[in-house]
Amino acid sequence: MSTKSNLQVARAAYQPKLPNALKGPVKAVEGAATQSVGDQAEIKALFPNTYGMPVVEFVKGEAACNDRFNVGIILSGGQAPGGHNVISGLFDGVKSINPENKLYGFLMGPGGLVDHKYIEITPELMDEYRNTGGFDIIGSGRTKLEKEEQFEKGIEILRELDVKALVIIGGDDSNTNACVLAEYYAAKNYGVQVIGCPKTIDGDLKNEQIETSFGFDTACKTYSELIGNIQRDCNSARKYWHFIKLMGRSASHIALECALETQPNICLVSEEVEQKEMSLDDVVNYIAEIVAKRAADGNNFGTCLIPEGLIEFIPAIKKLIKELNEVLTDPATGESRAFASAEEQISFVKSNILPENLAILESLPEDVARQLCLDRDPHGNVQVSLIETEKLLSRMVATRLAAWKKEGKFVGKFSAQHHFFGYEGRCAAPSNYDADYCYSLGYNASRLIANGKTGYMSVISNTTAPAAEWIAGGVPITMMMNMERRNGAMKPVIRKALVELDGAPFKYFAAHREEWARTTSYIYPGPIQYWGPSEVCDLSTKTLQLEHQK
């Protein structure tokens, strides 16, 4: 019996599309010197060897080299569909330069580099993983690569393996660290290049140069299929309100994209909640009013999408989290303080925060307050995926509606179901878009390496056009940086892209949401398709389409 499904076997044979510019030998065309998006003087001083480098575009031309070299690769942070295709693109790219070239994968994230845990990615191993979801070929991890001793441990193994370049596949934090590593190796003249690759389902690693992070497309399509299925069920039984929390960390890109794809009755957008300075109470009122209006029309059912980071954007809670982050950091080391137990940590927090923040903390349901006080991820982020906002909101809406019922303001029934979609989509088999985009990102990284670049992010743009017309090149990571306060200190970081309220995707949503709230105008997108008409199989996200229409 085969260990693979027929779909897996057929999908393994898919040859991802490459931009024409990357087919055959390429030459690098360099633009003018660049600047960081903010705090130019500080970023320049911190990155003297990698600041100001030009944007690079590849066009057909003479190959830069056909040298023998080895490359290392690291998968960093949360899984995102298409990671294996970045690796296969890189693998095929380095082999096309010289078949003797080798690719090493460091195991379980950046920690594999520091601990010298790696495997060689052989042709047989690579073929097992082409066009599959997941990061399991080498595993991923959240170890933060930021200390000199880690960089020094890294160079030991990179030298031992004769590695010319390291490719780090990660989100904004991991690419920030990739840039710090590139600068360190350049300053020390270690001769190892570092290239970043934009990954995250959250969609928040994007800017003027990066159209989208990989994995966002497949993850949103997977969640939208599930939301569509729920909406069919909901519209069939007409008895439940479904509260659906969607991953995405701070940014609401995933929730917004899913709303554009499925037209739910409600979708909250954290960035708008912050801009309108809404309290938790205001958010509850907003939902309860829509539930009441639908009930008045005889519709005691609906769907409500909730971005995972919502709680962090309610201004009073944001202020509280800011203070919590400072209090939980040891100013002497810049590291998180260590506590013997969760209880000790909570009591330390309570006795060290401002009275107004303590009042907010104590007004929150106990489970939410507890989660806010406890552990951060290694980059200092609140672990929002652990906060059950969907249950919190539906509980509060139920209480509000019960009060309104007594006043005669609510005449219907309210019964809720809860869902959290996150892990369901992070390892989905990549859509054609992500399969092609990721393969191109990896292949393109091999060209950046061959051209001697370091401190660059692999970038593929114009991706709403057919793949043949995509533009390939590299952008200096320093160009995306500014200074931000993290864990109590100012740090150089890649600016996180939140939903822009004057951007085309949000404006489209805002123009239609009242209609979607009242009338039931659900869309049922169905599963991702790999074969069939191009308008079904090769579509990018609605977010990207709307952004490109402007």
**Chain residues in the site for ligand FBP (CB under 6 A):** 77-78, 80, 171, 200-202, 247-249, 308, 384-385, 422, 426
Nearer Cβ to ligand FBP (17/249): 249
**Spatial distance between the Cα atoms of 328 and 343, rounded to a whole number of angstroms:** 14
Residue number, 16 or 215, with CB nearest to ligand FBP: 215
Q: Which is nearer to ligand FBP, 308 or 388 (CB)?
A: 308
Q: Is 247 helix (H, G, I), strand (E, B) or coil?
A: coil
Measure the CA–CA gap between 47 and 258, rounded to whole angstroms: 38
Closest separation in Å from C-beta 76 to ligand FBP: 7
Minimum CB distance to ligand FBP smaller for 141 or for 476: 141
In the annotation, is 217 catalytic? no
CB of 423 to ligand FBP, least distance (A): 7
DSSP for 178-224, written as a single string: HHHHHHHHHHTT---EEEEEEB-TT-----SS----BTHHHHHHHHH
Which C-beta is closer to ligand FBP: that of 384 or that of 459? 384
For 225, other C-beta atoms within 10 Å of its C-beta total: 21
For the bound state, the minimum distance from the C-beta of residue 270 to ligand FBP, rounded and expressed in Å, comes to: 13
In angstroms, give the least distance from the CB of 171 to ligand FBP. 4
In terms of CB distance, is 200 or 394 closer to ligand FBP?
A: 200
Q: Report the nearest approach of ligand FBP to the CB of residue 477 (Å).
A: 16
How far is Cα 25 from Cα 97, in angstroms, rounded to an integer? 9
Q: Which of 193, 263, 280, 343 is nearest to 522 (CA)?
A: 263
- Cα 218 off chain centre by: 12
**Cα–Cα distance measured from residue 56 to residue 205, given in angstroms and rounded to the nearest whole number:** 19
Q: Which residues make beta-bridge pairs with 194?
A: 166
Which of 94/201 has CB closer to ligand FBP? 201
Nearest approach, Cβ of residue 425 and ligand FBP (Å): 9
Q: What single-letter DSSP state applies at residue 523?
A: -
Sign of the C-alpha dihedral computed for residues 39, 42, 45 and 47 taken in this order? negative
HEC states along 283-321?
HHHHHHHHHHHHHHCCCCCEEEEEECCHHHHCHHHHHHH
Contact 490/462 with Cβ under 8 angstroms?
A: no
Distance CA 31, CA 478 (A): 15
Structure-block tokens of residue 450? 């061959």
Residue 133 is which amino acid?
G
User: Which residue among the candidates 92, 172, 173, 202 is catalytic per the annotation?
Assistant: 202
Strand partners, 463: none
Decide whether 249 or 447 has the Cβ nearer to ligand FBP: 249
CB of 521 to ligand FBP, least distance (A): 28
Please provide residue 296's backbone torsions phi and psi, each rounded to the nearest 5 degrees.
Answer: -65, -30
The contacts of residue 57 (CB under 8 Å, 6+ apart) are: 21, 28, 29, 31, 471, 472, 473
Picking from 542, 547, 460, 548, the residue whose alpha carbon sits closest to that of residue 216 is 542
By beta-carbon proximity to ligand FBP, the closer residue of 228 and 425 is: 425
Q: Which of 206, 195, 106, 263 is nearest to 447 (CA)?
A: 195
Please report the sign of the dihedral spanned by the C-alpha atoms of residue 87, residue 89, residue 95, residue 97. negative
| Alpha carbon distance 143, 75 (integer Å) | 11
Shortest separation between residue 310's beta carbon and ligand FBP, angstroms: 12
Quote the CA–CA distance of 390 and 417 in Å, as a whole number. 9
CB of 528 to ligand FBP, least distance (A): 18
Q: Which residues are catalytic?
A: 202
